[in-house]
Amino acid sequence: QVQVVESGGGSVQAGGSLRLSCTASGLVFDDYAMGWFRQAPGQEREGVSCINWSAHNTNYADSMKGRFTISRDNAKNTLYLQMNSLTPDDTAMYYCVAYAEPYCPSSWVRAFSPNYWGQGTQVTVSS
C-alpha cells in the first residue's frame, strides 16, 4: 500500500521560510517523478513543482520560480520543498504527490495527473 506523508508545515511571517518534507513508502521511490500541489481555501488545487526521478530536471509554477526549490533524496525516499520569501498568498494546504512515471509529465500541474497524494500539511503566512 502506497503511503505519502508530508511534514514541516506551520505558521510563519511574511518574508520567512519553511521547508516541507515528504516521505513515501510502498513504492519504488526512484521509479516516480514527485511533486507538490497546494490548495488555498475556496480555490482549486494548483501545481507547485515537479522533479524527475534523478532530480536532474525540475519544474515550477511561474509564481514559485526563484522562491521555491524542490529536491529529493532517493536513498531516504524523501522529497523536499524549500520555500523562501513567503507571502500571505502562499497560505494553503500543501500536498506531496507521486506521478506513476519517472519523468514529470507535460500535464504535471494538472490535479488529475498525479497517481498518489498525501494528506497535506498546512502552511500559514501572516502579514
C-alpha cell at 127: 502579514
CA separation for the pair 93, 78 (Å, rounded):
19
CA separation for the pair 92, 123 (Å, rounded):
6
Q: Which pLDDT belongs to residue 22?
A: 98
Residue with cell string 495527473: 113
C-alpha cell at 87: 507571502
Instruction: Supply φ then ψ for residue 101, to 5 degrees.
Output: -160, 155
Ordered per-residue pLDDT tens for the chain, 127 residues = 999 999 999 999 999 999 999 999 999 999 999 999 999 999 999 999 999 999 999 999 999 999 999 999 999 999 999 999 999 999 999 999 999 999 999 999 999 999 999 999 999 999 9
Q: Which pLDDT belongs to residue 51?
A: 98
